[in-house]
Copies of this chain bind each other. A is one copy, B any other.
Amino acid sequence: MKIVANWNYPTDIRVGRGRVEELADACRSLGISNPLLVTDRGLANMAITRAARETLSDGGLSHVLFADVDPNPNELNLEAGIAAFRNGDHDGVIAFGGGSGIDLGKCIALMVGQTRPVWDFTESDDGWKQADADAIVPIISVPTTAGTGAEVRRSSMITNSVTHGKTAIFHPKLMPSVVICDPELTVGMPKSITAGTGMVAFSHCLEAYCSPVYHPMGQGIAIEGMRLVKEYLPRAYRDSMDLEARLNMMSAGIMGAIAIQKGLGAIHVLSHQIGAMYNTHHGTTNAVLMPMVLRFNQKAVERKIEKLAGYLEIPGGFEGFHGFLLAFRADLAIPQSLSEMSISNDHLEDIAAQAMANPMAAGNPVKLTLDNTIELLESCF
């Protein structure tokens, strides 16, 4: 036996319809009296954003809106955000929105008190330990989508405006101190985003569940997260006003982001690489790869999947679960193959080689080699 594990769980999570009204209280609980509210340009003038700002004013808090945030936020957005924070003499950040607003908001809170460049603060080689932790200001996150779990994660993705390369900035204190999940903020999501971000949550849970890492809390959270997606994503997809389904998808997104402490595998390694090369949607790409990666991992995960299918009440064990995945994504109008995503199969060796170089590749239940990874990719066309 060689079980060694370190476990951490977030944070103060407040779930429920209308709870965005607690925003001023949440600020005060963290000693924030003048927050900078960071969101993206698209959200800046929407009704949900105006309503959130009103709850701050009604609660007696001054604040400023900063919305100069690109879809893939970069270091120029970050510099502008830091300047806005300093000019307004703010004392905390509300990171509001989809992934871009939340990722940039968290990074502004990290960087307002640092002297080193943001690119130093990565998880690899413990670069983040060079940050002055005491200079990081408190963060409240308010998600307006459901799936990626950026609202509870300890990293932010920042794009280099020159090279277009993406870097995951990491710090334990990037995890927001308070998370407010109000399903009324997510009803405006387009159908395809509901499906794609929902499948991010499912793929987080499935890969965490299949990971061989010892993390029983992550395993349990992954199981129940998949049950929520199975039950509620079709409902949220059909009826954008189904607030019970929306709320459960917010829970599933958070649970996926927590469960991946346990590990990820080939779905995420390959999806990351394909996304970098073809700019595809992460959740959709994950969903396309999912049944083929499951088949690829069959011999290592078959017994586990049988148990999971038992809980999800899917008859037929492993094969039943595989068939469920195919039908589930078809009902969400997700493409059945990479060909249907208009991706060519000209660069499979490149994709496989770069995937092998990703440290995450080592976590896949079946060992990835260049040859079997190319075969796996071929099976996805």
Contact = CB atoms under 8 A, between A and B. Distances in A.
Contacts of A313: 306-307, 310
Interface string A3-14: 111111111111
Given A12-B6, A311-B307, A220 B225 contact: yes
A223 interface: yes
A16 B7 CA distance: 12
Given A15-B4, A255-B217, A224 B223 contact: yes
Interface residues of A, number: 46
Nearest to A8: B12
Contacts of A15: 3-7, 214
Given A244-B3, A311-B308, A251 B13 contact: no
A106 to B, nearest CB: 19
A1 interface: yes
Interface in A219-255: 219-225, 227-228, 243-244, 247-248, 251-252, 254-255
A317 to B, nearest CB: 11
A258 interface: yes
Contacts of A1: 17, 243-244, 247
A50 interface: no
A216 interface: yes
A19 interface: yes
A255 B310 contact: no
A6 B8 CA distance: 18
Nearest to A13: B7
A220 B224 contact: yes
Contacts of A9: 9-11
Given A3-B244, A244-B1, A225 B216 contact: yes
Nearest to A311: B311
Given A221-B220, A310-B311, A14 B3 contact: no
Given A216-B224, A220-B225, A8 B11 contact: yes
A311 B306 CA distance: 8
Contacts of A227: 307
B255 A220 contact: yes
Interface string A170-206: 0000000000000000000000000000000000000
Contacts of A306: 313
8 A-B pairs with the lowest CB-CB distances in the bound complex, closest first? A9-B9, A310-B310, A220-B224, A4-B16, A311-B311, A220-B220, A1-B244, A7-B13
